[in-house]
Structure 1
Amino acid sequence: MIDDVEALTIEHQLRPDEQYQLDRFIVAPCYTAFTSAAQISELRIGPDRNTFGYIFPITSFRNEMGFDRKFGLIYADAGFRKFLTLERLARFQSSFSIDRGAVEQVSLDEIVSDSLSIFVASKEVLDAHDVSEDVLELMLRRCQVEISDENKSGPAFVADLEFNPGVNLSKPKIEDAEDLARLRLLLKTADNDNSEIGKFIQYYQFFEYMILKVFEWGIPHVAAGDATPWDVKDRLNDLGAERKRLQRLDIHCLPDLRDRQSQERLADSCKDFLDKVGVDRGNRTSWHSLLYLVRNSVVHNQFKLLSPDYLTALASVNICLRAVALDCFFNFEEPGADGFFS
């Protein structure tokens, strides 16, 4: 029975042995790149990889394959019962005649848009890991899941990950709640920006945030030891250079970032962009030095970039830039003194 309206009853036939109370779950509509029935993702967190939730494509609710585990079925049942309200049925409805429901059995993806998925998470597990709403949304967007109450065809950003039935999520190492709230909003705004130039500038703000922190952390080390006035001057110049701070970020502030493939893809896309717009990249090969050249082109040559070819090249940079910005941010931490002046 939906919203206590007796005239409308929607049920499923695969019940778990135990039905948990719905107030123990967060349930929300979401979009991912994976909408096939078998593409159910189990979400885990922490060093022990505790399961905290699932992503169920709407199409999976006509398929029993993904619900064979006890907790998968419990989460699916909770998601089904809590997701279905008259408001959501109206918002996400597909071209379905309600009269059919009275005489025949229909699947959920025949009633609502089959581009949709349902996010289901345990409040208890998230609370145990101290995951706030802002942190949760950042974590989900990093793994290319967009929570949204808007009826549309897919996520706002271009998804480039391969499907994984078990997704291990981590919290960002930055813990400042105010900063996290602003960065969550920045990411949402960037993802929804229809301008490739606007996307680039906003994704790059993640690096602006991190290199500002690098400068703040480095200030106490400027006059350390037996530094002479000339030493202090040289160190400040070195610390203040944006290109040098990007290098420090990469070398010293990401000790736990093991998979660097996203950085390699960003370097390749930056090379393609710079070659297309005619910028001499010299012998630069690192992602951060190439990104700095792209940043200069975007900031100082926006008029020149207003052509389909250049914007297409920038779009490829943006897909890679988003991944690297989030990889760096989630692994970003303050280095020791050697990270500033070795």
Structure 2
Amino acid sequence: MDFLSLLLMDFVKQLQSPTLGFLIGGMIIAALGSELVIPESICTIIVFMLLTKIGLTGGIAIRNSNLMDMVLPALFAIVVGVLVVFIARYTLAKLPKVRTVDAIATGGLFGAVSGSTMAAALTLLEEEKIPYEAWAGALYPFMDIPALVTAIVVANIYLNQKKRRVENEYPSKQPVAAGDYPDQQEYPRTRQEYLSQQQDPADNRVKIWPIIEESLRGPALSAMLLGLALGLFTQPESVYKSFYDPAFRGLLSILMLVMGMEAWSRIGELRKVAQWYVVYSVLAPFVHGLIAFGLGLIAHYTMGFSLGGVVVLAVIASSSSDISGPPTLRAGIPSANPSAYIGASTAVGTPVAIGLCIPFFIGLAQAIGG
């Protein structure tokens, strides 16, 4: 009972933090019809500065630490990123009115990482004076890239298999009525049209490196990897202490306000798709986070990984990509419906991850740590 009481008290306390307050405030003013608009260019600069700061922190820490300490947490991050996609493939995809390709794309987005959610978690850990490895933010790409690559590969394998089945089952020349044709958005209406669009089988193979390259060139990972490299190979401590560190919390509060407004505006998109996406978006962040939390505890008890680091691992697993993930999936799985995976992520998944999962996992860590 003491454990549950402590967990509940910490959870309520975290909901009152400034970081989460700005997120909730953004949703409230958007619901009230506020015409407040923060230009996209400003948001882009804010995201760049936040992720560069996280990268600098990680780079400086890695330069001064034992790389072997990162091996197990990084391995667990990869495992979670891949696993999340398969969870969506074999749960969400089996629900009524959910297209398999949309479910896989949703899994990819939820397996990828939100830099803003991670930044919020790091801020709250510092406010609670919970120690964590400064390099914990560098776990970002170890989960983000495998999730996106896995989603695109799995989706393309599924679509190629379905095309082969259609090729075998289609009458040679007879057109098929639109209502009789499964997933009509993805295929031509006759076998002849279908065959005319086919390329050499070798062209249907999923190429892994272009997906990785696209992810690495995305704005979120680019900013963070830039900061990581600068922290590793230069001496950025002076600019870090005088500029990036003091500005971090203020910039994050603005971004949380924007994300709250964006989340509310995206709710309408969920009306266009199966309501199971709402259920998934509420439950998935907790399920993914608990899997990562459990793996993090293994690293905690075997390698001395801090409980704060366990929270970071759980939070990035709870998050869903809000910057680099959507354009990568649009390009890699063009037949998937963006209203499904982006609406589920932005309108429900992100607020749940920031507003509920962060305080939950911080409270869980505090309760375990006594």
Structure 1 length-normalised TM:
0.22
Task: Considering fraction of residues, name the structure with more helix.
Answer: 2
Q: Which has the higher contact order (CA 8 A, sep 6+)?
A: 2
Task: Considering fraction of residues, name the structure with more strand.
Answer: 1
Q: Highest Rg: 1 or 2?
A: 1
Structure 2 length-normalised TM:
0.21
